[in-house]
Chain A
């Protein structure tokens, strides 16, 4: 028996037992997202297509899956979707500049021995792929945070329809502040866990602090963690503003119609 299949089966059983229909849908969404990764991979292999463009489209589709498919299309998910996309575009600009400056793309000298059987001159732009990787690692957390803010903001607006845009924005910010710590922790620990083998290896090589800080692999990891943190933080004011703008504008419109 394949361990992955058994783990997937257990996950499916637990998700449907606890989440019912929605649980089954959440499980299926993981498969859709896996399909998206394959899709991204397919297009990244073509040197004539800009990987960043592929990533943006993939991020839009992934946000659709995470927001509209698992939940449904409504004002909460629409504002969360818009905010996620805006955050990703802002973040992508920042990340491309950083990957280019710090030259953290591709593979490090520690990895290269394992890859000696491969030809490295394959014509695809690894700088852009590197930037895409950082964005893709954060996309799940960005949509989650956006949803976690827009959803209670909708409730606040529902209970206090006369609330001003500014007050609603402030309420969104304060919700965001409360979840910031846990969202950031989710990502930090996920990356720590993923990098554990590499960290042990770095310690085994007994690098000096200076060698670690300047090595490609370590800086790439640190920059990924920090950019992920920047991403989940940036989405907070963006979502608060868009949701406040959208909700207040909508209720003004309905008033004038009446």
Chain B
């Protein structure tokens, strides 16, 4: 028993286990065609045909290329046969791509014309799973090499949170009468407890951070909800998420709620760790000094934390904005259509961050005082 435990913590053992997982998963993803229902083919020969310059009605110049592709089917009844495909792509590649030899693609096979034995069909999409897996492994290895145990916990917490989120959404889709915000509130509590315990372990610091995080996110949600109600959502363009056939305002609020959670947790744990470490260094430190130092730390972090959220939200809209502007939409209209929800999320997250500074400060001081009273 003891030996087994020792073996699990042996880094050599861990790394070789990881290495085996790496090799197995890569072997799997390179040869998993038979698990797919859709036909997959590997590109073996490409002939570049003509290319033509073109200009659209807004005078944007682009170039169109045509590729004749011969690919070999990798799964299904016709495995091993060759298929002839045509691909068109442009220089800008907004919605098309240039295929290269050796790539695997999803295809649909057309009915054979009478008399011809040649298989033809059309290209559906690229098979991307092997690239996704590759990035995932790099992510895991870099986190483990730099972060060691903490890196492992980050990977675990990401995996756990993603699974929990997916499960929460399943619950919502199965019972659409339950409000999504309510489901997300339950999920948020679980996210907070698990993530903070994983990052920081079982101690007073963590408990203070958990309470501060929950108070912080819920009050920021409340403020944002009140603002949206009072202004009756004026200035928010829900068009960009209207593709979902569900109450999109709820979906937006729930996204805002979850989105600010990580930043609020970060602030809460920073506040509680620093207050507790001040107390550990000097057990008789007056509450006034704790308050002062806590506020100073809060001032230092609030700007950069708000900016993290700002960039994480806003940057994703850049491709759409470019598309709008290149198609002759005025700048103001494009920004309004594509950024209003992202800006609202960033502001709401910022409000959560700022509110968590005093909340985290007072909750931590409360815990410090309790600890003092006990000793």
Contact = CB atoms under 8 A, between A and B. Distances in A.
A209 B270 CA distance: 38
Given A23-B299, A194-B255, A226-B136, A188 B231 contact: no
A107 B253 CA distance: 25
A133 B128 CA distance: 19
Say whether chain B's binding surface is mostly helix, strand, loop, or mixed.
helix
A161 interface: no
Given A7-B351, A203-B169, A194 B150 contact: no
B87 interface: no
A101 B319 CA distance: 19
Interface centre among A29, A193, A196, A200 (most CB of B within 10 A): A193
Interface in B262-285: 262-263, 265-266, 269-270
B138 A230 contact: yes
Interface residues of A, number: 120
A143 B290 CA distance: 27
Interface string B287-321: 00000000100111011111111111111101101
B344 interface: yes
Given A47-B61, A200-B244, A229 B311 contact: no
B94 A45 contact: no
B189 interface: no
Contact of A200 (B173, B270, B347): B173
Interface residues of B, number: 133
Interface stretch (A162-170, A172-180, A247-255): A172-180
A106 B91 CA distance: 12
Contact of B299 (A18, A118, A119, A134): A18
Contacts of B126: 102-103, 214
Interface in A192-213: 192-197, 199-201, 203-204, 208, 210, 213
Given A137-B312, A190-B309, A197-B244, A70 B303 contact: yes
Contacts of B199: 181-182, 185
Sort A-B residue pairs by CB-CB distance and give the 3 closest, nearest first. Answer: A193-B259, A26-B303, A189-B262
